[in-house]
Structure 1
Amino acid sequence: MDEGTITLYIAASLDGFVATEDGGVEWLESYQDESDDTGGGYEDFFGRVDCLVMGSRTYEQVLTFGEWPYDEKPTYVVTHRDLPLATDCVELFAGELRDLADELTARYEHSWLVGGAALSRAFLRQGLLDEIRLTIVPVLLGRGISLFDDGGIERGLTLLERPSSANGLVELRYGVDATASSS
């Protein structure tokens, strides 16, 4: 197998927030069934994913959804806390992100960085993402948890595709350039 890829696949409001200030994502619910209208969408993407990675707050939020939604796909939760395991496929990870990324790309063809925002920014800052698939949701939240911050790293992106749906969802798919510069 060639080296695998790590993709951040996430939705954000038009003003750049992935959640409300309290971490809520209820504003996404009315678009959930229609997200597959954007050129393959979630179901197509998830079918190609071999492994998932998420931060502890995202994981805790997923636990509140009821049944574990990710089947038996291996899932790494980046945390220094002792959290309950949703399934035998969930593993807690407390090491260096570079080591995790190296393990992911060696073992899996396609890893999905689910979120949250802080973990996504850390992966981006350290140059550990190969692709960003950002679904823009046609809503302005006004405030909340921002996907990107002023972390001081400039990184080029290459637009790979930009499908849209009738309900206003736009998926921006970018390749992430390997080199970065400080701003």
Structure 2
Amino acid sequence: MTKVTAQLSVSLDGFYAGTRHSGDGDWTDSAEAAGFFRITRWMIDAMSWRERQGFAGGEQSTSSDLVAESFEAAGAYVMGRRMADGGEVPWGEEPPFRAPVFVVTHRPRQTLVRRGGTSFTYVTDGMAAAVEQARAAAGGKNVAIAGGGSLVRQVLKAGLLDELDLHIVPVVLGTGMRLFDADLDLAGKEAIELTPTRVVHTPDVTHVRYTVNGRAALVLDDRGSGTGRPMPASPDEPKAEP
């Protein structure tokens, strides 16, 4: 069954890049790029990632195996226009996707066909329409939300995301572009609940896979009532004197 999946590298404090680049000057010299490169070094070192980019070298490691697995599982991709425009030149004539890519945009453009099976179709009627077109093109494989982070949030907010892989890098960026932000529009006691289904530890990054269960309001149960176990105190609640 086709699943909608997403994966991002994040810092310990939840950022997937540094402070957003304003567009002035070279992106690779920006704070946004510095944060992004810091948390994606594990992937750039992976042999399977480098092979897809047409680069030599790299490490055959657990992380490399996971990158190869993600490429193999994807039958189509969805990405934002900023990512597509930024990658068009570096990806060259044979981008690493080798599958149809659907670009969410407000600016129409003819489908861009590249070598190796990659095509970029520009979808102007919204994120949900792009995901639906990707499902139809995926051939039973997964639809991978390639990014950026704001698009992943949109898909999560819309309840369309089935599985989320976070690659957690042991670094604190302090500021930058945060994956989970207030624009998820969670109201009152509501939260998006996930279940971890796989955790893989390596020295450079911890890979955690979650099944997305969806939005749910908190329903208080009777734990702590009549059992001799006190309910947990609020962190701000004054503690009683012994």
TM-score, normalization: structure 1? 0.85
RMSD (CA atoms): 2.5
In the other structure, the counterpart of 1:30 is 41
How far has the Cα of 1:39 moved from its partner? 8.3
Q: Which amino acid aligns with 1:33?
A: D
How far has the Cα of 1:6 moved from its partner? 0.8
How far has the Cα of 1:166 moved from its partner? 2.2
1:18 maps to which of 13, 16, 26: 16
Q: Which amino acid aligns with 1:60?
A: D
1:115 maps to which of 138, 141, 147: 147
| 1:50 counterpart = 2:75 | yes
How far has the Cα of 1:26 moved from its partner? 2.3
2:106 maps to which of 50, 62, 80: 80
Partner deviation per Cα, 1:119-161 (whole Å, 9 max, x = no partner) = 1111001001010001011222111111110223321101110
Partner deviation per Cα, 1:56-81 (whole Å, 9 max, x = no partner) = 11222222434353243111111112
In the other structure, the counterpart of 1:180 is 215
In the other structure, the counterpart of 1:103 is 133
Structure ID, larger Rg: 2
TM-score, normalization: structure 2? 0.66
Count of residue pairs brought into register by the alignment: 179
User: Any conservation in 1 of the 2:104–2:126 contact (CA below 8 Å)?
Assistant: no
> For 2:125 and 2:216, how far apart are their aligned partners in 1?
25
Q: Which amino acid aligns with 1:162?
A: V
Q: Percent identity?
A: 27
- Bigger RCO of structures 1 and 2 (CA < 8 A, at least 6 apart): 1
Partner deviation per Cα, 1:18-60 (whole Å, 9 max, x = no partner) = 1111242222453221485248311121122111111111222
Structure 1: 5+ residue runs without aligned partners?
none
> For 1:138 and 1:110, how far apart are their aligned partners in 2?
29
